Structure 1
């Protein structure tokens, strides 16, 4: 209840009640509400600029931010898993694949090197979560670089594997005459007695005896370089260029089953046993050449003989007997 105020009236010599004016009362009420509104507004602004009160928009943004942080955390975990798998592939690449195909391993420093030069992440600075964004971006770009290096390495390994496959198919690796058709291995590589002069001389191949007309097979993939009788002593003979420096020769044949320039595969029928040229009896004189030098064919039968068969052949080839040509 408001206080009643009085004033002294000198004319009546008495105290009279002061009656407030209606306009002033309304003004006072208005000023009160204005002051209250201003005070409330100022307090609200102060609260909104503190962490005590958040607007719906700020609450929504905070939820989005927490969601982004969660997504970044999941991304980092996934990248860590990818990195583990990639490390396993890189390890096998260096220590198995590249070793098998005789390729130099890729240094780890080259695989994991970062990016030098200017600041690549300057455009990502200045945000509330810049460290999180930059860290994830750096890790992702390093993974991408490692994947590119590994991809190129696997491309190289693929090419090396193709070359290795071609090499293995090209190397003369079987006997020119199968064991079921073979009479015996008459003479091996080395110093032997000449059947005509009886003088010891170097025998640069192996003599496989078999009946006339016995099939003779290509010992490796290649191209027929010669199929003629224009080389002294060999008679009707065939030469196969296998590539990679390898060449095989089949001498004293009775006839051919191929022609010059023809491509053949290991095991293809190329001719038949005979006794043409400088020969004492029907047989196939077989030679292997590597980089222009004649080498012992005994080292190249891993593709058709068992261990016991190879041991028997090795024993027969080591006997210093008389050759057939």
Structure 2
């Protein structure tokens, strides 16, 4: 029940009741409600324009967002380092490894291709940090692509290295007769007078003079392709197939110590010097063929001769003397 209020009437010298009209009461109530809404509106405007005023949930989300931005920044720095390392590796791959193994370099377009056409990052659009997230995703995709291409390239280089190692072991790279066993080197590659046929003709190999029974060594890894006795002018002959298009011929042997199809390693004794076939004295006639064509053996003695020994051998091999076969 509301309290009754009075006022003092100075004319009648009495207290009278204060009478409130109904309209006035409604007006007061309306003003009060309006004041409350106005105050609430003002508080909302202030809240929305003062970002430092946040709810606990907003503060938590803001912290997560700041942490995410920091993580992406750190990721960007790590990608910078990865790109630098990968670029250095790609440079060495193209300009050292692939050059050494005679392989074509990989272009930058090949290393980064495959990202055109459809928008791969549409699902990442529409967020506050979409630009940062999309750019990081693009860089990561490029890195993954480059790493994949580089990995395949290194697999290829490893295969080429394996083949190169086999090639280096197969190439005829030593003299078939040791220097200590030689009487002399009778003749080299080129036009020579044949000692029996008595006319100048192409001498497709080199003659190494040594006593009968002197060991003959395989000049590279391979497989015995021919082991033939009395093969015409060559006499007793061994032919080794080294692969990669290389073959070596060892002629006029007194005796062979290998069989057809036998695997041979460089430096292994395969036979002994003799004087069989069209030969004017005990010696080894030695030839190197590449893809079926005889080539000068003088270019293949890098495996066991010093520079001085090679110069002496080269001088003797170029003299236009008479061959022994």
TM-score with structure 2 setting the length: 0.88
Aligned to 1:88: 88
Aligned to 2:271: 271
Shift of 1:40: 6.4
- The runs of 5 or more residues in structure 2 that have no matched partner are 21-28
Asked if the contact 1:176/1:217 (under 8 Å) is kept, the reply is: yes
**For 1:286, what is the secondary structure of its paired residue?**
strand
Task: Please list, as runs of the form range in 1=range in 2, the aligned pairs for 1:169-248 lying within 5 A after superposition.
Answer: 169-248=169-248
**For 2:165, what is the secondary structure of its paired residue?**
helix
Asked if the contact 1:114/1:142 (under 8 Å) is kept, the reply is: no
Q: In the aligned structure 2, how far is the partner of 1:33 from the partner of 1:223?
A: 111
Asked if the contact 2:230/2:276 (under 8 Å) is kept, the reply is: no
Pair 1:5-2:4 in alignment? no
Shift of 1:31: 10
Q: In the aligned structure 2, how far is the partner of 1:269 from the partner of 1:198?
A: 33
Q: In the aligned structure 2, how far is the partner of 1:292 from the partner of 1:113?
A: 43
Shift of 1:93: 1.0
Asked if the contact 2:196/2:278 (under 8 Å) is kept, the reply is: no
Residue deviations 1:57-95, cap 9 Å, x none?
A: 111111111111111111001100110111111111111
Shift of 1:180: 1.5
Shift of 1:299: 1.1
Please say which of residues 45-54 and 280-289 is displaced more in the overlay.
45-54
Residue deviations 1:86-116, cap 9 Å, x none?
A: 1111111111111112222111233234611
Asked if the contact 1:218/1:270 (under 8 Å) is kept, the reply is: yes
**For 2:240, what is the secondary structure of its paired residue?**
strand
- The runs of 5 or more residues in structure 1 that have no matched partner are 22-29
Taking only aligned residues, the RMSD between alpha carbons, in angstroms, comes to: 2.7
Aligned to 2:106: 106
Aligned to 2:319: 319
Aligned to 1:61: 61
Shift of 1:51: 3.3
Aligned to 1:27: none
Residue deviations 1:211-259, cap 9 Å, x none?
A: 1111111111111001112521111110001111111000111111211
Please say which of residues 185-194 and 104-113 is displaced more in the overlay.
104-113
Asked if the contact 2:6/2:15 (under 8 Å) is kept, the reply is: no
Asked if the contact 1:7/1:18 (under 8 Å) is kept, the reply is: no
Q: In the aligned structure 1, how far is the partner of 2:6 from the partner of 2:61?
A: 57
Please say which of residues 45-54 and 32-41 is displaced more in the overlay.
32-41
Shift of 1:38: 6.3
Shift of 1:37: 7.2
Pair 1:134-2:134 in alignment? yes
Aligned to 1:76: 76
Task: Please list, as runs of the form range in 1=range in 2, the aligned pairs for 1:286-297 lying within 5 A after superposition.
Answer: 286-297=286-297
